[in-house]
Every structure is written in structure tokens, then in C-alpha cells.
Structure 1
């Protein structure tokens, strides 16, 4: 049985194609994409930023040049590690990344800016994690159509807006950062399974407590593939320590069901943030010959609720949150709004019960659309 039906009839091919055009227009609406020059450290002068985020990166991207920390879409034979310090401008608006204007160096007074960067080895990263405080490390796995600097600055935005307490780690796989490279990106994500699995094993074996994983879009596909791989390798010790949140996962529903059949019920239910009006996933569905994407399923459908309970996962419809762009694909990046709506101190918080739920952003409540008896918003 499928996780969820496709809804009230399949759209015509022309209607879906029209939606594709709308989504692509939204995705490509920004004026130019940031290049690797935005990773060059800038001098502060007399200015002292109010907030500086220290981020760590593990990437299967190859370096643009030896010894540098700018990365291409080429696949590296072994993961590369780096550390970045990024200042947040005092004018920062929640959910935004304040990029410098094209052709201009970042100004820390108005833009996100790299203050320092350096190469890092695996042992050095694990030492940082080992010596960090009690908060769980957070691994961010980006989605399709990202270059390295976009994914790095997105993690900086999430870190500053949600006040993530643990060590923030970007896992950057070699996306081509091109709308036409959907198939190539899927291959690049798949290529990165072993490296992400190794990172999660390292983190679990380095410290006590949980390790949090936040995956977006095609990064959700990569993450679930890694969970499946860990299960097949008998690493239940790792799976039992993971708290996984997936926002708008770009996964075929039948593939996801098959993955869950292998993974089984996690100690902490996988949390999936969905929105049926996600235009980017409508494009993905179109490219996949009409297959339903997990990130766009309808949490109000009784079959979805039943399947979520059966598989031990938590599905939350977040479509009441204001979208930050025309695609409706990036709602979860408004970390402050999401955290407030879930009545939690950070956007990485999850519901503790399996089932399907709907978030009411205006009322700041999460509830079951099926009058489930249990209290659904569990406080830690």
C-alpha cells in the first residue's frame, strides 16, 4: 500500500508544466548567485559584529585549488574538512541571507561575511565535538541546486535564527547548482552516502547523547539512504542516537516506504515537515513521471496518518507558515517562525509521537486533524 494517494486526481501534463515554470521562475529569481569569492575573509576594521557563527564543514566536493576552502561540484575521493567564522550583520532579517551586491566584497555591517577560515582534519573536527558542551551536534544536509557557499551561509542563517546550541556541521555534497542538473545532483547525493554514514558514526562514537540531523529536499533522500545503510550494516547503536528532521524531502513515496521497511522504527521518530503546495516538489514530481514526493503529501489524509503510525514517523504539515519565496519549498528556513509555532526553543525540536499533525502558525499550535487522544505537543 502506498504511503499516500496522489490526492484529488492527477493534474494534466500542461498544468503541471505550467507549475514547473512558476517554480523555476521562483528558484532563479535572485539576481546572480554568490561565487567562491564570498568565502574570502574580510577585514573588520573598527567594526565589531554583534554575532559571529563558527561553522564546520565536511564535504565530498573537491577543492577548487589545493589548500583552499572553496569547493567545486567535482567529487572528492575523500571528504574535505574546514572551519569558517561568519559574522552576521546587525541589519539581519530572520530567514534571509544578506549577500553582498554582485561585484562587491562583503561588508560585515550589511552582509554575511567570512572573517576567518582554515583547513581541518577529521581528528580536529572530532576533538571540537568531544570538547563541546552538552548540546547535541547538528548536521545540516542541503538539497538540490546549491553551491558550497550557499549551503554554508544557509547553515549560518539557521544557526543564528534558531540559536542552535550544539556544534553546527555542514555536510556538503557535490551539487552542480544548476536547475538543469537534477539527475546529476541525484547521482552526486548518492555518491556521498558512505561519507555521511561515516560522519554520523564518528559523531556518535565521539560523544554521549544524541546527534541531530536536519536534511532539506534532496538531502532528505541522501539522509534516508544513509539510515538504510546503517541498518543493513547492523549499526543500531548509531540509529538509536539520531534525531532526524527532514524538511520537504524530495523522495518518491514508494521508495520511501521501501526504505522504511528496511530501517524499521527509530528510537526517536523521524520528523517530516511537509507542504502540499510545495511548487519545487511539483517540479520534481513532473520530472519523475508524476510520482508523489514525500515532502508534499497531505497530512490531513487518513491514509497518511495511518501509515505514519505504522512506520513510526512524525509528519507535520507546515503550510500555514508564511513562505519565504515563490516555491513554497523553503518554509523551514524561517527557523525563528517555525520555532515559535512549535513552542520550542529551537527549530530542531520535534514532536515525540508518531502520526500526522498540522501546524497552525497563527495560533502557534500543532494538533492532529483526526482528534487523536494523546497530547501531541510534548515538552522536553
Structure 2
């Protein structure tokens, strides 16, 4: 099949699947809801370069804001929640069966800083930042972080969503890349602010898909501007990063080795990244690296990064692009164990055994993004 025809076919499949699944609208954020019996709640903080919706004070659009907006959402998790899933409402929100927003506060910058750094149970909080990916609307990103927070089952954390203005549409790939670039300085500012706070451990930053590119660019900018002390406070995890391999090589050449090493979560069968490769002229993406390739092992050791294949994890989406979300479900099992495998500070290429969980270290770190230890 000609390359142009195959590209069209992949995009058509992606568009049709997204259309069939439906997309959650901003009305989910302003539906008055009460907590159902036996449900639990999680709080998610937001720092966003999206414009606020004039018609819905709780919602953020795909427009680009001139200043960062801040908020706190309290989200109810239904009693029969299946780990790894988001129970989206069908038509009307029912807290007994669906994720539901049960609390909201718009915050100013100073109040946001106070809240995320506020001690929990007499101890400084753990702070994690989630940077979402391409083709993601605000409510999808918000509920995804709520799901990971709930599944990690950790108390005393401050999970933060950095929401950049993705169009939330398949055809918006180029504009999403521009929107991510538009948000780079603001992510740098957020990380700089957080690094100045007293926290219980390193600040974990996880960037998914195109959010991985944005995260790597922010770390690169911190290095170029001499803010090494900020970088030293971070544990960086890139999940299915939509980054050109050569671009990533150039980024890591500037960033240099991190301690602990930057962790890259990859899957060779990621269909969304396959589409990205077509859109970018068959340029291979970092999120599809083959850890069995000796050249990958050599490159990871040279760059001082840790690459882990998570293909054995069940994917929550048809495009096998969201496997990282399953890691939170494993955190309660993996936390505090001393299983064999690479240490937290070990670079190289590895495969995660989902059954034996033999490579636990990177996933304990991944769990921290939702407020872990």
C-alpha cells in the first residue's frame, strides 16, 4: 500500500475509534454531585495554560491563556471502581457508578503554592506533576490523574495536573505541538516554584506522549539557564514519549545524566506513536524503542537514562498508548518491596515482567506522580 494511503487509513481508524468512544464534555465538571456511600475522594491540583471557559467557571478550553490558571478539584471515585479504568458517565453523572466532581476551588497563584506545599499529617507532602499528551481535552487529563491517584492508594500527596491547551482532536497534531511549545516557559516556572518548596521526597514529573516532549524541553531549558538546583529536585519519567529519536538525543546531550536517571516507558506496539511516525515522515519515536536492540542498550547507557518496556501491561485504550496508567494499580503491591531488578539509579534498557513485577524500581517512582513516597 502506498505510504500516503496507509497514512490516511491509520488516521481514519484513529478518528473513527475516537468518535465511537465519544469524548467527555466540560459539563461533567459542573454537574452538582454528592459523594456516594463507600466512595472515596481524591484532590487534584491544576496549573493550566488553557483559557477558562467563560460559560463554565470550572472548565478549561483549548484556547491559550496569557497567564497560568490554578484550581483544585475534588473527585469522587465510585465504590466499584476497576483499577486502571475511568468510569465515565453515560448521560447523567451518578457518583455511585461514575467518576464525579464533588468539589471545586479556583485558586490564585499564592493560594495554589500554599495548598500544594501544605503539610499532610504533620509531614511535608509528596509532590508529583502529570503533563498530559496530544489529543487530550481537559476533563480527560483531570480524570486520568484522579484515576492514578486513587489506584496508587497513597495518602499525603499533592498530585498536580499541568494542563496545556491541546485541541483534543486527532487532526490537531501540528497545532498541539505549537501549544506544547507555547507552554514550555510556564512548565519551567511551575517546576522552579515547586523545587523551592519543602517536600518529603523528590518531585516526580511524568510526561505522557507529546507531554513527554514538553517535559524534556522544560528540563533542557532549566539546564541551559543554569537552574541545576531545580533539576536536582526532580525525578523525571517519560511515558510513551512522542519524541523524534534524534531530537531526544540532542535533548539529553544538553540535559546530561540525571540522578536518579530519567526513566522512559516504552511499548513497541503503540499504534498512536505509529501514526505520529507517519505524520512526521517516518521518523522513529522514543516511545517505540526496542529494548532488545543492543544499540538501544548502548545508547541508554551512554545517555544515562533508564528505558523500560511495559508492553506486558494491559492497555486501557485501543491504541495501546496509555499503558502507563496501569502502573498506579501496581504501586500498592510494589511499594516497600526489595525485589530483584535494576535499582532506582541504574541506567540501561529493561523489560517489565507484569506477573512477577521483577523490575519494581521504575514503577515505584511512577507511582509517586500520584502523590507517592
The structural deviation recorded for 1:116 is: 1.2
The 3-state SS of whatever aligns with 1:259 is helix
Aligned to 1:33: 23
2:73 to 77, 84, 103: 84
Paired with 2:363 and 2:142, the residues of 1 have a C-alpha distance of: 31
Contact 2:72 2:106 in 1 (8 A): yes
Aligned to 2:94: 107
Paired with 1:350 and 1:25, the residues of 2 have a C-alpha distance of: 42
Deviations 1:29-77 (A, max 9, x none): 41x21111100152428x4343101111000001111881211111000
User: How many equivalent residue pairs?
Assistant: 356
1:163 to 153, 160, 182: 153
Aligned to 1:370: none
Which deviates further from its counterpart, 66-75 or 199-208? Answer: 66-75
Aligned to 1:305: 297
TM-score by length of 2: 0.89
The 3-state SS of whatever aligns with 1:77 is strand
Paired with 2:115 and 2:228, the residues of 1 have a C-alpha distance of: 25
Paired with 2:344 and 2:289, the residues of 1 have a C-alpha distance of: 18
| Residue 217 (structure 2) pairs with residue 230 (structure 1) | no
Aligned to 2:262: 270
Contact 1:26 1:327 in 2 (8 A): no
Paired with 2:327 and 2:362, the residues of 1 have a C-alpha distance of: 21
Deviations 1:293-329 (A, max 9, x none): 0000101111111111111100000001122222111
The structural deviation recorded for 1:135 is: 4.3
The structural deviation recorded for 1:214 is: 1.3
| Residue 294 (structure 2) pairs with residue 292 (structure 1) | no
Paired with 2:351 and 2:285, the residues of 1 have a C-alpha distance of: 18
Task: List alignment gaps of at least 5 residues for structure 1.
Answer: 1-10, 368-374
Contact 1:304 1:356 in 2 (8 A): yes
Aligned to 1:249: 241
| Residue 119 (structure 2) pairs with residue 126 (structure 1) | no
Aligned to 1:359: 352
Deviations 1:127-177 (A, max 9, x none): 123223344201110001111111111110010011244201110000000
* RMSD, matched Cα: 2.6
Contact 2:260 2:344 in 1 (8 A): no
Cα distance, 1:214–1:163 mapped onto 2, change above 3 Å: farther
| Residue 51 (structure 2) pairs with residue 62 (structure 1) | yes
Task: List alignment gaps of at least 5 residues for structure 2.
Answer: 366-372
Paired with 1:354 and 1:13, the residues of 2 have a C-alpha distance of: 38
Paired with 1:350 and 1:161, the residues of 2 have a C-alpha distance of: 24
Aligned to 1:187: 178
Paired with 1:291 and 1:107, the residues of 2 have a C-alpha distance of: 44
